[in-house]
Chains A and B, each alone.
Chain A
Amino acid sequence: MIEDTRSINTTATLLLMAGCAFVLAPLVFVVITATQSYGDFLRNNFSLTPGSHLVENFRQVWEMTLLPRQTFNSFVIAFASAFGRCFLAFTTAYAVVFFAPRYSIFIYAAVLASIMLPLDLMVIPAYQVAANVAMPINAVANLGGGWETLFGAPLDLQLNLLNTYAGAAIPLMAQGTGTLIMVQYFKTLPVDLAKAATLDGASPLRFMVDILLPLSKGPLLSLFIYLFIGGWVAYMWPLVSISSPDMQTAVVGLTALDTGMGEDEIPNFPLQMAGAIMVTVIPLVLIALTQRLIVRGLILSEK
């Protein structure tokens, strides 16, 4: 068989272009719709001719809706949950790889369990715990009426995290994919690094901060971006755990954006599309800004 690279190239290019068109068409539709005014939209329905109301729509979203505030909420929650997950992934992987304690098998089991039981499956118990963080403590203390016999009344601590950033972000952190990724990365590092640092007098903590952390910059940054976007687009948990609109995240807020008043009213689709663009822009900018850092980090940490 003779390889005809030119025809392969042409076919590949055509396939890629078809794929791009398939992926980008809805986005084009979103952008075009966002440029139209509500009035035009009501008159012409969906149209492929761009209108002139893009800036006006953005201004309306910015000034008239809760979306700016909700975008800020999204940022805080996504940042906190991604940061927390990276921190947990880094420290857990460090313990498992460099100390290999006897119970590391249980850590692994917990990590796997957290992956196989995503938050979406545990929404109700997670909600109960968020509604009162002390609930598990209460339950253990009151086991068989233990607390009551000791102190006369059952233990009833209360700490409600619903409608708070912590309540939205912390449950999102409880997921172990990052740990697996960091474990794999740490296993590629030379084992003698830790020995060398030990002989240089570095304590385990110092080794972690001085040697391991700088070496993990690349993988951690990629992981962070990935998890940040995961937190940004999280829908189910923020919807459940946050009820007040001004604490709500942007993705949840989008669905409530001018959906029309009555049964028959047509939603303001141009406004919704403008909002969707605004909500998408922040993760996009984040990726654009850090892309080179991520790549450089990966190259650096290979040697």
Chain B
Amino acid sequence: MSAQSHAAGIHLTDLQKTYNKTPVIPGLTAELAAGEFTVILGPSGCGKSTLLNMIAGLEKVSGGKIMIGSREVQNIAPKDRGLAMVFQNYALYPHMSVADNIGYALKVAGVPKDERTSRIQTAANVVNLGDYLDRRPSELSGGQRQRVAIARAIVREPQVLLFDEPLSNLDAKLRHDMRMELSSLHRRIGATSVFVTHDQVEAMTLADRILILNHGRIQQFDTPHNIYHKPANTFVAGFIGSPPMNLIEAQASNGAVSVGGVRLAATEISGDVTVGIRPEHIKVTESGIPVHVAYREDLGSHSTMVVEMENGQTLRLATQLGEPIRGGEWVHITIPEDKLHFFNAATGDALRSN
């Protein structure tokens, strides 16, 4: 089922959504390329599901334009937009067999029985459910139900596939397997995919590009690599990464930035600045800044610590396992200058990213 030719880009132009005069999305412009896998990531209540529902046509648009391919769709019925959606709680029709679930859209569209049967079989084979067509959803496991939902979405050969937190009902292992399946499925089908989640691991692993949303505004729309290494502002810096990036209020003067008298790095800027450093970039060394280990967690593959500098500033850091450090001890840390991020202390926007 190669639908590469089907894929269509999505252009959102000044898209707005207002509930009872409260703007949820105040005006959003973005361009999702054809065949691209975009993940919309944000905390709950940031408007990501609203955005997805507006693209799907399940919610009315308060203002702005949605283009799918070359068609303006914001006033078109959902079924005519050439898209399909996978829901968080599967939303399978409980009284229908797997085959009927997958084929319902075709039945409604009046596709002849023979063609329907063969397309259902093809779609079920794509998600490895070819042998389960006669089962009821209640007889399937969570992962299988989600695969039925995916088959139901791809059977119509949509230009755009929408995913509304489809993995959050699955347990950790299954979620990992489904991530791999979704990724390879996307490569095979090639439909433009929009995937909403609050899970940054899903976002980092699945996305071609991540759109980070907060309070209905785009914080950053970039590749996972750039999101991680070049966060556009303190929100993105603090949202991505586990444990999240340390954000320190610091002062820059006389060509150097320092926090509480401790010099961190050379800089040309001056005045108040927010300095960011990822926990995994801080090294425990023989000499350097003395810190007191306030809390330590051993996670097997690595350990995380909360340390306190002499001036009271706390930092999170992650080390490879094997550092023989106990809680309560004093150690020395080095913060590599080239790993520092600088943000405007007032606006939170990135000043310089190394």
**Which residues of A are interface residues toward B (Cβ below 8 A)?**
190, 192-193, 195-202, 206, 210-211, 214-215, 300-301, 303
Q: Is the CB of B94 within 8 A of A215?
A: yes
Instruction: Please name the residue on chain B nearest to A206 by beta carbon.
Output: B108
Distance (Å) between the CB of A217 and the closest chain B CB? 8
In the complex, what residues of A have CB within 8 A of residue B93's CB? 193, 196-197, 211, 215
Distance (Å) between the CB of B163 and the closest chain A CB? 12
Number of interface residues of B (CB under 8 A): 27
B235 interface residue (CB < 8 Å to A)? no
**Which residues of B are interface residues toward A (Cβ below 8 A)?**
53, 56-58, 78-79, 83-85, 87-95, 104-105, 108-109, 136-138, 152, 164
Q: Is the CB of B108 within 8 A of A200?
A: yes
Distance (Å) between the CB of A82 and the closest chain B CB? 23
Q: Is the CB of A198 within 8 A of B79?
A: yes
Q: Is the CB of A196 within 8 A of B94?
A: no
Set B53, B83, B91: member contacting A196, Cβ < 8 A: B91
Asked, given contacts A199-B83, A201-B105, whether A192 binds B137 with beta carbons under 8 Å apart, the answer is no
Set A190, A193, A200, A303: member contacting B138, Cβ < 8 A: A303
Q: Is the CB of B78 within 8 A of A190?
A: no
Set A195, A214, A301: member contacting B87, Cβ < 8 A: A195
In the complex, what residues of A have CB within 8 A of residue B88's CB? 192
A-B pairs, top 9 by smallest CB distance, nearest first, are A201-B79, A192-B91, A303-B138, A200-B105, A196-B91, A192-B87, A214-B95, A201-B108, A199-B85
Q: Is the CB of B91 within 8 A of A202?
A: no
Instruction: Please name the residue on chain B nearest to A203 by beta carbon.
Output: B108
Set A199, A301, A303: member contacting B137, Cβ < 8 A: A303
Distance (Å) between the CB of A176 and the closest chain B CB? 27
Q: Is the CB of B56 within 8 A of A199?
A: yes
Instruction: Please name the residue on chain A nearest to B79 by beta carbon.
Output: A201
Q: Is the CB of B95 within 8 A of A215?
A: yes
In the complex, what residues of A have CB within 8 A of residue B104's CB? 197, 200, 202, 210
Distance (Å) between the CB of B323 and the closest chain A CB? 47
Instruction: Please name the residue on chain A nearest to B86 by beta carbon.
Output: A196
Asked, given contacts A190-B89, A192-B91, A300-B95, whether A199 binds B108 with beta carbons under 8 Å apart, the answer is no
In the complex, what residues of B have CB within 8 A of residue A190's CB? 89, 91
CA distance A193 to B149 in the complex (A): 12
Instruction: Please name the residue on chain A nearest to B164 by beta carbon.
Output: A192
Q: Is the CB of B78 within 8 A of A198?
A: yes
Known: A192-B89, A202-B104. 18 other contacts (CB 8 A): A192-B90, A192-B164, A193-B93, A196-B91, A198-B58, A199-B79, A200-B79, A200-B108, A202-B108, A210-B104, A214-B95, A215-B95, A300-B94, A300-B95, A301-B94, A301-B95, A303-B136, A303-B138
Q: Is the CB of B95 within 8 A of A195?
A: no
**20 CB-based A-B contacts, threshold 8 Å:** A192-B88, A192-B91, A195-B56, A195-B58, A195-B87, A195-B91, A196-B91, A197-B104, A198-B57, A198-B58, A198-B78, A199-B56, A199-B58, A199-B84, A200-B108, A210-B104, A214-B95, A215-B93, A300-B94, A303-B137
Q: Is the CB of A199 within 8 A of B94?
A: no
Distance (Å) between the CB of A301 and the closest chain B CB? 7
CA distance A91 to B91 in the complex (A): 22
In the complex, what residues of B have CB within 8 A of residue A192's CB? 87-91, 164
Q: Is the CB of B78 within 8 A of A199?
A: yes
Distance (Å) between the CB of B159 and the closest chain A CB? 13
Instruction: Please name the residue on chain A nearest to B136 by beta carbon.
Output: A303
Q: Is the CB of A193 within 8 A of B91?
A: yes
Instruction: Please name the residue on chain A nearest to B88 by beta carbon.
Output: A192
Q: Which residue of A193, A200, A301 has the most chain B CB atoms within 10 A of its CB atom?
A: A200
In the complex, what residues of B have CB within 8 A of residue A210's CB? 104
Instruction: Please name the residue on chain B nearest to A300 by beta carbon.
Output: B95
